[in-house]
Amino acid sequence: MPNHEIYMRRCLELAELGQGSVSPNPIVGALVVHHDTIIGEGWHRKYGEAHAEPNAIADVFNRYPNAADLLRESTVYVTLEPCSHHGKTPPCADLLVKHQVKQVVVACNDPFEQVNGRGIAKLREAGIDVLEGVLEEEAKFVNRRFFTRVQHQRPYVILKWAETANGYFAPKGEKQQWITGSAAQVVNHRWRSEEDAVLVGANTALIDNPQLTVRHWFGRNPKRIVIDKELSLPPHLHLFDKEAETIVFNAKKTDWQDRLKLIALENFDWYLPQNILYQLHLMDVQSLVVEGGIKTLNLFIKAGLWDEARVFRGQAYWKDGLDAPRLQVIPQIKENIGNDSLTVYFNK
Active site residue 53: yes
Q: Using alpha carbons only, give the angle 245, 270, 249 rounded to the nearest 5 degrees.
A: 15
Rounded to whole angstroms, the Cα distance separating 308 from 313 reads 16
- In sign, the C-alpha dihedral spanning 321, 326, 330, 331 is negative
Q: How big is the chain by its Cα radius of gyration, in Å? A: 23
Q: Which of 147, 85, 72, 150 is nearest to 122 (CA)?
A: 85
Q: Which of 13, 16, 41, 53 is catalytic?
A: 53
Catalogue the active-site residues.
53
